Every structure is written in C-alpha cells, then in structure tokens.
A and B are shown apart, each in its own frame.
Chain A
Amino acid sequence: MSDPSSINGGSVVAMTGKDCVAIACDLRLGMQSITVSNDFPKIFNYDNAYLGLTGLATDVTTLSEVFRYKVNLYDLREERKIEPETFANLVASTLYEKRFGPYFVGPIVAGINSKTGRPFICGFDLIGCLTYAKDFVVAGTANDQLFGMCESLWEPNLEPEDLFETISQALMNAQDRDALSGCGALVYVITKDKVVKRMLKTRQD
C-alpha cells in the first residue's frame, strides 16, 4: 500500500476536433493486482461539462458527488447551465482547498461552450493546477502510454467520426500496455447538438 494514485488503476484521455471534443476512459477498478470490477466508469457529466477522474477510486466517487452538489447549487443560483471553462475553475479551486491533504486524483475536463461553440479541454494535477491544451490531455496509470499514442495519432481538425476512431485507438493501445488499466472502455464524442456514448470491445485482461 504505497502510492494512492496507482492502487485502483485507470486512465482517461480527451481530445479536440473540428467543433467537437471526445473524452474516453477505461472501466477497470482494481485493488493492486486483483480486478474488482470491469464496470467502473470514470467519466461524469454536469450540464455541458464532462469530467474524467482517475486515481484513488474513493476520491473519484467522493469528488463526483461533491461536483454534482456544487453544480446543482450553481444551476439554482445562476439559473443557467455551467460552462466547461467555469466548471474547470470550480474543479481547480475545489482541489486547492485540500492543498495539504489532497484528493489523490487526476482530473480532466472536456466540453463545448454552449454560447461560443468552442471546444474546450484541460487537465489538472491533484492540487488543482490547470493546464489548458489545444490538442489532447491524458491522465491515469497509462499516462505515459497515452502521451505516446496521442502524440502520434492526433492531428488537428478531425471530424467527429474520425476523432472517435483516433481517441479509441489511442486509449485501447495505451491501456493494453498498462497492467492496471483496461477491462473495457467508454468513449463520449461531444458535438454542439448531441453526445454519442460508445462502449468499445477490448481485451478483458
């Protein structure tokens, strides 16, 4: 029992395309070498914003509930849906509040701003350092593998169908090289008018 961010395993990746974004996660929940569940999704949605959370499973669940609470209150006070950029700042400040006793997570936010139509992705570290990216963001135990796959497969201005293929191959091949990620994958492709959620057929080991 040492590094909290690699006890349960899991990885998430997000990419931008032409007027679309995609975010994908694996489905494994483990306890070190033992696989506990192959149906543990790590992507949650709040209005326009999609949040991917890797790391310690208890903190993934706790934070998904904390953000549901905060976004519900935002909706009631503001009388409008939260935008991805605003949600990202909410994530950053929530994490920094626990600066000296942090949540052991690697979050990613993805979405399309409903007013400007601009695709948005960003990543954070466990204490809320925001890193914006134009191309892709990665997180989880297959972090390094995902960087390699994304750097080689990604190109700008991919249409939604092509972005789906690209992000799927990036995640599938990266998680196959990581012992603690895998057991299935979920991919969300988000455009202005619809969101398509697909489950990938992957190796179950």
Chain B
Amino acid sequence: MDIVLGITTKDAVLIATSMAAVRGVSILKTDDDKTRIVAPHTLIAFTGEAGDTVQFAEYAQANIQLHGMRNEVELSTSAISSFIRSELANSLRSRKPYQVNLLVAGYDVTESMPKLYYVDYLAAKAEVPYTAHGYAAFYVSSLLDRWHRRDISMEEGIKIMNMCIAELRTRLPIDFKGIQVKAVDKDGIRTLDL
C-alpha cells in the first residue's frame, strides 16, 4: 500500500513517497524515508517486501558510491538504472529473490536532461515520463496521462503532483501519513515543501 510515484518536468524529476511505515496492523513510524541518494544527481525510491527494500537499496547505494570513489566520476542515471536492473535480474533466479520495486530518478549532467526509470522486482526496466508502483498507479496514471507534458515547468509539475496526492487521499482506504516530495535537478537533490 506504499506510494512511490515519479514525474519528470523540463529540468527536474519529482519523486513522491508515502511516509507511513506499517507492519501488520500497526503504524511503526510516520516519517519513513523510502528513498536513498545513490549519486549526487540520482535518487532511488523503493517499495516492496519488508527488509528486502532497504537491504537492496543500501547495497545498490554502497556499490554506486564505491564506483564513484574508485573512478572519480559520477555514474550517469542511465548506467545506474542498468546496474540496478542487472542486480535484480541476477537475484530473480537465485534461491530467494529480492522483492523490491524501484524508481530511479536522476538528472543526466552530460545530456542535461532529467531521467526517470521504472524498475520492478522482475527486473523489467523502462524509461518513462511519469509512473507509479503498486495501487497508486491505478489512480494517478489517468491524471498524469491527461495533464502531463514533457516540457512542463517545476511549478506545473508540483501542481500535477498535488492533484495526484489529493486523488490518492480521496480514493485509498488507508491513511498513508503524508507524502515526502524530493526534486532532482542539475543542482542536485533536495526535499520540497508541498
């Protein structure tokens, strides 16, 4: 029931994640960060099986940061998404696969373009202008199909994001304790106040 959704704008990618951490019938915390910064211009947001999510995300984060330290260069968002996909693909036919769905959001500094990738637990990868994982996709996809354009400004993107969050609040039967929104652009990654 976690919300993970991403929208690209002309110069940035916006990532929204829900803040509730739920186990069984209890809400463990209301400020859970379902993202990890893997590179100065790339963020991953994750959802899925408890434990697998953070384990896989931090494994990916560690390896990508190590590559940056060894080679003194930042990996492009495209390369990061391919690395993550190949790790998940190797895990898929192992004894116990990682059950993690992710969004890889980044700003490609060489191409000067925001990039968003959908990667699911089966290691299917697609570059997309906007997307969401889980039940959220059923509600926000149509809104995004209607209002999104490739060249929208950050303000228009935030407006669309607010529409999506309002729809989720109306239609999802659970209280997801608010949404954290992060923006990735040429200046790096920052949290937005919505």
A7 touches B122 (CB 8 A): yes
A58 touches B138 (CB 8 A): no
B102 touches A (CB below 8 Å): no
Please give, as numbers and ranges, the residues of chain A lying within 8 Å of B118 by CB-CB distance.
Answer: 36-37
Q: Which of B93, B126, B137, B138 is within 8 Å of A37, CB to CB? A: B126
Please give, as numbers and ranges, the residues of chain A lying within 8 Å of B131 by CB-CB distance.
Answer: 36
Please give, as numbers and ranges, the residues of chain B lying within 8 Å of A36 by CB-CB distance.
Answer: 118, 124, 126, 128, 131
Main SS class of interface, B:
mixed
A29 touches B122 (CB 8 A): no
How far is A69 from B125 in the complex, measured between Cα atoms in Å?
19
Question: Which B residues between 93 and 144 are near A, CB-CB below 8 angstroms?
Answer: 93, 118, 120, 122-128, 131, 137-138, 141
B126 touches A58 (CB 8 A): no
A137 touches B (CB below 8 Å): no
Q: Which of B89, B120, B126, B141 is within 8 Å of A62, CB to CB? A: B89
A61 touches B120 (CB 8 A): no
User: Known contacts being A56-B122, A58-B123, A101-B93, is A37 close to B85, with CB within 8 Å?
Assistant: no
Please give, as numbers and ranges, the residues of chain A lying within 8 Å of B85 by CB-CB distance.
Answer: 58, 61
A40 touches B126 (CB 8 A): yes
Size category, B interface:
10 to 19
- Chain B 72-90 interface 0/1 with A at a Cβ cutoff of 8 Å (1 = within): 0000000000000100110
Q: Which of A7, A29, A56 is within 8 Å of B126, CB to CB? A: A29
- Chain A 167-178 interface 0/1 with B at a Cβ cutoff of 8 Å (1 = within): 000000000000
How far is A7 from B121 in the complex, measured between Cα atoms in Å?
13
How far is A57 from B124 in the complex, measured between Cα atoms in Å?
5
How far is A57 from B119 in the complex, measured between Cα atoms in Å?
11
> Which of A8, A58, A101 lies at the interface centre, i.e. has the most chain B CB atoms within 10 A of its CB?
A58
B92 touches A (CB below 8 Å): yes
Closest B residue to A35 by CB, please name it: B141
B141 touches A61 (CB 8 A): no
A129 touches B (CB below 8 Å): no
B137 touches A29 (CB 8 A): no
- Chain A 34-65 interface 0/1 with B at a Cβ cutoff of 8 Å (1 = within): 11110110000000000000001110011000
- Smallest CB separation, B15 vs chain A (Å): 17
How far is A37 from B128 in the complex, measured between Cα atoms in Å?
7
Question: Which A residues between 8 and 40 are near B, CB-CB below 8 angstroms?
Answer: 8, 29, 31, 34-37, 39-40
Q: Which of A8, A34, A35, A101 is within 8 Å of B124, CB to CB? A: A8
Closest A residue to B133 by CB, please name it: A31
User: Known contacts being A31-B120, A37-B126, is A58 close to B141, with CB within 8 Å?
Assistant: no
List 14 A–B pairs whose Cβ atoms lie within 8 Å, in order of A's numbering. Answer: A29-B124, A29-B126, A31-B120, A31-B124, A36-B124, A39-B126, A57-B126, A58-B123, A58-B124, A61-B123, A61-B124, A61-B125, A62-B89, A101-B93
The 3 closest A-B pairs by CB, nearest first: A57-B124, A37-B126, A58-B123
